[in-house]
């Protein structure tokens, strides 16, 4: 979707603006499929020759409060890269709600692309396609149900697999022959782009601007705290495997709170474990309340007491306590 003018050699110094007619044509050819491989993508039907529907999404989706700077620039420390196109960039970022809040960072072929934020890799496509590297995309799910989307990667360069947990600043892949990285944050349920801010970008509330060059910071996360959290996580996994759920949950919850900053692979995994255990606990609460409904109040009470003991600090604990209160009221 956003192809740079062929042969433009000063791309890295500052993007040459693509004429609107050319942009519209490119949109027709590639429109909306920048994030190709996204079957749920909704804007893949470019209208050849039609001007982009400029401004359709701008007014209503303009943020009222600036986003928190949760992201680090997606390339290794201290390296400068120019921002060719910013949010709502006229060249191609008006091409649909998946792209409105995107950035294009100029990169030569084969330069390293790193994670902007910790999360779980949910989509990897580096196989290339008939249109080349523009189809290659990696998507990372963050803890707040947003995706980081990295597009135009080099064919065959992915260093991660679906299911991997990644830190901020981890090597993802290399940049492809579009000579820029297209980065955007999506709201996971709707797959629409949303505002995002980078902690290294000190002006404009952390939002990179077109024609400026940005340097990433390093390191992103104190390695000691990550190592300590990883050791604690191992112990918690062991406790969980042995059925010591209370001890495991205490550790998991501590990790989710202790690892601060933008990074945190252990934190992601701990949060995942807490979610799973909470879900299991909630299912047991449902089973216990069914038991109570069928007349076995003592059995239900015993089960609920066990849930309170085992799932401390989670929603399952509070749900079990509510059920217990309801049971004693009914008595
Ligand atoms: Zn782009």
Model confidence at 89, pLDDT cuts 50, 70, 90, reads: very high
Distance 198 CA to ligand 1 centre (A): 17
Residues 26-43 have a mean pLDDT of: 31
Distance 166 CA to ligand 1 centre (A): 23
Distance 222 CA to ligand 1 centre (A): 31
Residues 14-33 have a mean pLDDT of: 30
Distance 164 CA to ligand 1 centre (A): 25
Distance 91 CA to ligand 1 centre (A): 9
Q: What is the pLDDT of residues 159-208, one digit of tens each?
A: 998 988 887 888 899 999 889 999 999 999 999 999 999 988 989 999 99
Q: What is the pLDDT of residues 113-154, one digit of tens each?
A: 999 988 889 999 998 864 454 579 999 999 889 999 999 999
3-class SS of residue 228: helix
Distance 71 CA to ligand 1 centre (A): 17
The region that residue 262 occupies, defined by phi over 0 for left and psi between -120 and 50 for alpha, beta otherwise, is alpha
Distance 85 CA to ligand 1 centre (A): 7
Distance 163 CA to ligand 1 centre (A): 26
Q: What is the pLDDT of residues 91-100, one digit of tens each?
A: 999 988 999 9
Q: Tell me which residue of 104, 63, 65 sits closest to 81, measured CA to CA.
A: 104
For residues 211 and 277, what is the distance between their CA atoms, to the nearest angstrom? 48
pLDDT for 165: 81
pLDDT for 221: 55
For residues 105 and 188, what is the distance between their CA atoms, to the nearest angstrom? 23
pLDDT for 270: 86
Mean pLDDT, all residues of the chain? 78
**pTM for this model (two decimals):** 0.56
Ion ligand 1 residues within 5 Å by Cβ: 2, 102, 104, 182
Q: Does pLDDT of 109 surpass 80?
A: yes
Distance 306 CA to ligand 1 centre (A): 53
Q: Which residue has the higher pLDDT, 128 or 218?
A: 128
pLDDT for 218: 61
The answer to whether the beta carbons of residues 115 and 140 sit under 8 Å apart is yes
Domains and CATH numbers, the chain: 20-58+68-215 (2.70.70.10), 223-330 (1.25.40)
3-class SS of residue 114: strand
pLDDT for 134: 53
For residues 222 and 218, what is the distance between their CA atoms, to the nearest angstrom? 10
Q: Answer positive or negative: Cα dihedral of 19, 21, 26, 27.
A: positive
Q: Which residue has the higher pLDDT, 17 or 175?
A: 175
Distance 204 CA to ligand 1 centre (A): 19
Q: Which residue has the higher pLDDT, 13 or 183?
A: 183
For residues 174 and 294, what is the distance between their CA atoms, to the nearest angstrom? 60
Question: What are the DSSP calls for 66-103, one per residue?
Answer: PPP--B--SS-TT-EEEEEE-TT-TTTTTS-TTTTT-E
The answer to whether the beta carbons of residues 278 and 248 sit under 8 Å apart is no
Q: Which residue has the tokens 């299912």?
A: 283
Residues 2-21 have a mean pLDDT of: 33
pLDDT for 105: 97
Q: What is the pLDDT of residues 226-276, one digit of tens each?
A: 666 777 788 899 999 999 999 899 888 877 775 444 445 777 888 899 999
Distance 66 CA to ligand 1 centre (A): 21
Model confidence at 331, pLDDT cuts 50, 70, 90, reads: low
């Amino acid at each position: 979707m956003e192809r740079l003018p062929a042969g433009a050699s000063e791309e890295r110094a500052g993007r040459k603006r693509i004429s609107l007619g050319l942009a519209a044509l490119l949109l027709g050819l590639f429109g909306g499929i920048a994030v190709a491989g996204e079957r749920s993508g909704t804007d893949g039907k470019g209208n050849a020759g039609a001007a982009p529907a400029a401004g359709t999404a701008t007014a209503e989706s303009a943020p009222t409060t600036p986003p928190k700077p949760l992201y680090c620039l997606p390339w290794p420390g201290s390296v400068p890269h120019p921002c060719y196109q910013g949010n709502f960039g006229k060249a191609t970022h008006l091409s649909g709600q998946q792209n409105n809040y995107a950035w294009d960072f100029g990169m030569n072929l084969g330069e390293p692309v790193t994670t902007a934020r910790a999360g779980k890799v949910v989509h990897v496509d580096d196989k290339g396609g008939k249109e080349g590297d523009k189809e290659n995309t990696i998507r990372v799910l963050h803890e707040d149900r947003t995706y980081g989307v990295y597009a135009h990667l080099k064919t065959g360069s992915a260093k991660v697999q679906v299911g991997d947990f990644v830190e901020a600043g981890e090597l993802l892949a290399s940049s492809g022959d579009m000579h820029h990285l297209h980065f955007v944050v999506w709201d996971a349920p709707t797959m629409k782009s949303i505002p995002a801010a980078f902690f290294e970008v000190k002006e404009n509330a952390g939002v990179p601007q077109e024609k400026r060059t940005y340097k990433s910071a390093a390191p992103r996360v104190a390695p000691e705290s990550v190592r300590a959290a990883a050791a604690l996580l191992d112990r918690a996994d062991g406790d969980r495997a042995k059925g010591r759920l209370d001890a495991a949950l205490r550790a998991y919850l501590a990790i989710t709170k202790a690892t601060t900053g933008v990074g945190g692979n252990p934190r992601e995994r701990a949060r995942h474990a807490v979610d799973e255990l909470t879900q299991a606990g909630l299912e047991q609460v449902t089973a216990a309340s069914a038991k109570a409904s069928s007349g076995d109040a003592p059995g239900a009470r015993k089960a609920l007491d066990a849930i309170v003991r085992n799932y401390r600090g989670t929603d399952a604990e509070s749900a079990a306590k509510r059920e217990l209160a309801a049971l004693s009221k009914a008595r």
